[in-house]
Amino acid sequence: MNQRRNDEKGSALVMVLGVLAVLAVLAAIAITVVTTEKKTAFAEYTNSRSFYSADAASEAGVNWIHRQSSPPMLVDTLSHVFKAASYATLRDDNRYQYDVTFTRKRFRPGWSVEFKDYEYTVDARGASSQESEAAVQVTATRLYREGY
């Protein structure tokens, strides 16, 4: 009753090889997914770092406007009142730069005619060490008294 048939010899080896092949494919898929997720997470990290660097640059530009006691003079024909020469370093892997451009001035209702709202545009750029860059543009208004 326990007679083996000659055509079944080696079937266990074929089944084991099949299972190992399926496990190898599953392992390769798992490695691909993990590697892709790691690259995506790192890209998101560097992008957020560059965005927050640009946000810091916009805050620095608005602060620069706030510190001016009188309307700043134009420094070039493109209406810039402040033009950064290079990036400022926040940390070893982050840097930012901003330019401030005069947009317009207008009378503020309810105020005397010598008071004007000066409107500026702050073009801010941030970068991280992995060549990720971001840009933010902010409009800021400052009230100045002319002829003072």
Can you list the residues of the chain whose pLDDT is less than 70?
1-8, 148
- 50, part of any domain: yes
d(CA 48, CA 147) in angstroms, rounded, equals 44
Inside any domain, residue 3: no
Q: Which residues contact 26 (CB under 8 A, 6 or more apart)?
A: none
φ, ψ of residue 128 in degrees (nearest 5):
-115, 175
| Residue 136 falls inside a structural domain | yes
- Is 0.95 topped by the overall pTM? no
Please report whether residue 74 resides in a domain: yes
Domain of 21, in residue numbers: 9-145
Count of domains for the chain:
1
Q: Is residue 29 part of a domain?
A: yes
pLDDT of residue 143: 94
